[in-house]
Amino acid sequence: MNALSTYAANVATAIRTSLMDRTNFVLNVLGMVVNDVFFLALWYMFFAGFREVGGWGLHDVALLLGLIMLIVGISGVFFGGFRDMAAAILRGEIDALLTQPRSVLARLLARESIANAWGDLIMGIWMLFTFAGLSWPDLPLVVLGLVCGTTVYVASAVVYASLAFRFAGARSFARDLTDFMLLFSSYPGSIYSGVTKVAAYTLIPAGFVVLAPVAFLRAPSASTLAIMIGSAVLYAAIAAFLFHLGLGRYRRGLVPTG
């Protein structure tokens, strides 16, 4: 509980920092809302001509987009440090954190709150309860899906950022992989097959970020629940292991500088 309260205090500080420039904050949020509306409009026009794609209709895609927007929004607001974690490692910014008793990884995640992520939060909630056709009784299942999806998303970003413990090129490569994962997560699962489907459930785990929660919400079952929770636990464990393995190299001075 003490660790959670410390993390909450750090996140609250990061959020207050992101709110300091109110004009910039509002512009960032509005910009993201406009971006999300435009993306939804593209899919709306697509389904105006094609009723479905691989068994996915407008409601299904709206469910997928609403979930991924909320996952990205939650990650950006409350775990925003994941975005520039590789750069922070290469710049040696974790030196000061090593002298503190709390988790280095937790402090890195809580060091920033991304302003435009609030736009994703607003649009995600609106989309789920309008175009996706969900209702308030579905809320517990939505929360469970969001927790699991957000865990996989942030954990994967941490795995990519941990590459910075081994080579300097991870500064941009980690962000590119995270953005690519987001791109993979923005399309119906029916379009993936063969190698792309393997990638979507392993190295670029869009399948576990959003497709598994979508499958769970479309047809709740014990198997989809087990897949969703199991993937969240697995990716979180992999992320923690690889980060602390790299942190050991950092302590020994074996990390490239950037």
Burial class (CB in 10 A: 0-12, 13-18, 19+), 213: buried
- At 207, give phi and psi (nearest 5°): -60, -40
Q: What is the C-alpha to C-alpha distance for residues 218 and 70, in angstroms, rounded to an integer?
A: 17
140-164 residue pLDDT tens: 999 999 999 999 999 999 999 999 9
- Residues 187-203: tens digit of each pLDDT: 888 888 888 888 888 88
Find out whether 160 and 86 touch, Cβ atoms under 8 Å. Answer: yes
Which pLDDT score is estimated for 203?
83
Dist. CA 11–CA 81, nearest whole Å: 10
CA–CA distance, 258 with 248 (Å, rounded to integer): 18
- The pLDDT value given to residue 1: 61
Nearest by Cα to 173 from 77, 91, 87, 79: 87
**Which pLDDT tens digits describe the chain residue by residue (258 residues)?**
677 888 999 999 999 999 999 999 999 999 999 999 998 888 888 888 887 877 888 889 999 999 999 999 999 999 999 999 999 999 988 988 888 777 899 999 999 999 999 999 999 999 998 888 888 888 999 999 999 999 999 999 999 999 999 988 888 899 999 999 998 888 888 888 888 888 888 888 989 999 999 999 988 999 999 999 999 999 999 999 999 999 998 888 777 765
Tell me the C-alpha distance between 200 and 191, whole Å: 11
CA distance 155 to 169: 20
* CA–CA dist 67, 50 (Å, integer): 23
What pLDDT does residue 117 have? 96
Q: 126 CB contacts (<8 Å, ≥6 apart)?
A: 66
Structural domain boundaries in the chain: 2-251
